[in-house]
């Protein structure tokens, strides 16, 4: 009787082993466990890249809007410039401004007697410590070769700087995004602030 029990148990064990070997119902969990970190990495990467691209679009939209607002009238005052700077947080929303951004407006003009010179310059819309790449008020303007100016012509160069900190991938370095917009005044020369 023990021989029959032994044979029956061996046969039952082989049958159970064969059934377990052919059972694939848990294989999806193994595949999921192996692929889930890859999917999470891809998803967070998409979020990070999407945030970076949206921020770049916001900064570009801000620089064009500010340049457009400054060049609308024949004359501009300190009060108007202050009001324009107060619009920046609304344009940049949902991104915070404050210590992460600064906007610099530079009036560059050229006369018959002088090369392109910075007539006036104002900054605001944030407190980020960045200086204009065009130079300082009263100095000759540092213009690229792509900008040419005629005598008695004014160009208002608007720069927006934004310090970008990655949302998720903190191992990536922070960087400062800079966008520039050049507008000519629609009316007048805007060589001075009234």
Highest mean pLDDT among 16-25, 31-40, 145-154: 31-40
In a domain, 36, yes or no: yes
- Across the range 180-184, mean pLDDT stands at 89
pLDDT, tens digit, for every residue of 92-110? 999 988 899 999 999 988 8
pLDDT, greater one: 87 or 24? 87
Q: For residues 128 and 162, what is the distance between their CA atoms, to the nearest angstrom?
A: 8
In a domain, 2, yes or no: no
User: What are the phi and psi torsion angles at 182 (to 5°)?
Assistant: -110, 125
In a domain, 140, yes or no: yes
pLDDT for res 170: 78
Quote the number of domains for the chain.
Answer: 1
pLDDT, tens digit, for every residue of 146-176? 677 778 888 899 999 999 988 887 777 889 9
In a domain, 10, yes or no: no
In a domain, 5, yes or no: no
In a domain, 1, yes or no: no
Q: For residues 189 and 80, what is the distance between their CA atoms, to the nearest angstrom?
A: 16
């Amino acid at each position: 009787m023990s021989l029959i029990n032994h044979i029956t148990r061996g046969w039952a064990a082989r049958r159970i082993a064969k059934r377990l070997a052919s059972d694939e119902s848990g294989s999806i969990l193994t595949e999921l466990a192996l692929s889930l970190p890859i999917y999470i990495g891809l998803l967070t990467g998409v979020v990070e890249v999407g945030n970076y691209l949206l921020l770049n679009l916001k900064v570009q939209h801000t620089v064009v809007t500010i340049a457009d607002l400054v060049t609308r009238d024949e004359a501009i005052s300190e009060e108007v410039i202050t009001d324009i700077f107060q619009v920046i947080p609304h344009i940049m929303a949902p991104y915070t401004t404050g210590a992460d951004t600064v906007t610099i407006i530079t009036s560059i003009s050229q006369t018959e007697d002088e090369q392109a010179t910075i007539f006036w310059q104002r900054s605001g819309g944030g407190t980020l410590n960045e200086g204009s790449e065009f130079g300082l008020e009263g100095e000759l303007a540092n213009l690229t070769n792509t900008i040419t100016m005629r005598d008695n012509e004014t160009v208002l160069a608007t720069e927006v700087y934004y310090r970008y900190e990655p949302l998720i991938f903190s191992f990536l370095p922070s960087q400062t995004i800079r966008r520039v917009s050049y507008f000519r005044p629609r009316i007048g020369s805007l060589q001075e602030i009234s």
